[in-house]
Chain A
């Protein structure tokens, strides 16, 4: 049974900092892994999708890496902004998406 852990559970940083969110999963037999963002009271927005054969994906200030063999993924956010404040969820997929509990990020101006 896939279990997904995200560390830290919460993070508060000043604007402009670079930061790393961590995700670990127990079953490395995955098809892909996605990172999502959830704003309060809203649905999820897909940020990045990494196929199992890929090592990383980049979109703007976001970079996600995947080490399938060790069951780890990281989401790197460069030059954080207050608008980045949200909960970030990782979800490896093997048949179905299994979500971590998320990292709630607050970026202070």
Chain B
């Protein structure tokens, strides 16, 4: 299936831990994104990569570090997790930064306890 797939789907972890979320797309898109959706359902962009190059880096704590080993993968590593990091994290991809063909993954629900 052509899609954006992210793992894990659910992640429960304790404060202070370090965790990673992986994202892969097989759509041939050259741009990938990480979004955070908080408890109030606001969806906000965190990072955007185009051909492995960081092009958008919103005001996100530096505990969050994206890594793009190739244009089909964009992983998100989070250090020293805090309660406020609890949210649903969505990976997405598109062809070009114009947003054509925007495709989202199904999300990773992160719960920090």
Query: For the complex, is B61 an interface residue (Cβ under 8 Å from A)?
Result: no
Given contacts A96-B56, A99-B43, contact A34 B102 (CB under 8 A): yes
Q: How far is the CB of B47 from chain A (nearest CB, A)?
A: 10
* Majority secondary structure, B binding face: strand
Expressed in whole angstroms, the Cα–Cα distance for A78 and B100 within the complex equals 25
* Per-residue contact bits, chain A 29-51, to B (CB 8 Å; 1 contact, 0 not): 00110101000011111100100
Closest to B104 in A: A43
Closest to B42 in A: A101
Cβ contacts A to B, 19 pairs, < 8 Å: A31-B98, A31-B99, A32-B98, A32-B99, A34-B102, A36-B102, A41-B107, A42-B106, A43-B104, A44-B102, A46-B102, A46-B103, A49-B102, A95-B97, A96-B56, A97-B45, A99-B42, A101-B41, A102-B41
Expressed in whole angstroms, the Cα–Cα distance for A102 and B101 within the complex equals 20
Query: For the complex, is A89 an interface residue (Cβ under 8 Å from B)?
Result: yes
Most buried by A among B90, B92, B104, B105: B104
On chain A, the residues within 8 Å of B42 by CB distance are 99, 101
Q: How far is the CB of B2 from chain A (nearest CB, A)?
A: 14
Query: For the complex, is B77 an interface residue (Cβ under 8 Å from A)?
Result: no
Expressed in whole angstroms, the Cα–Cα distance for A89 and B41 within the complex equals 10
Expressed in whole angstroms, the Cα–Cα distance for A42 and B43 within the complex equals 13
Q: Which 10 A-B pairs have the closest CB atoms?
A: A43-B104, A44-B104, A99-B43, A43-B106, A93-B99, A46-B102, A96-B45, A43-B105, A43-B107, A96-B56
Tell me whether A101 and B99 are in contact (CB under 8 A): no
Query: For the complex, is B48 an interface residue (Cβ under 8 Å from A)?
Result: yes
On chain A, the residues within 8 Å of B105 by CB distance are 43
Q: Which of B41, B48, B98, B104 contacts A45 (CB 8 A)?
A: B104
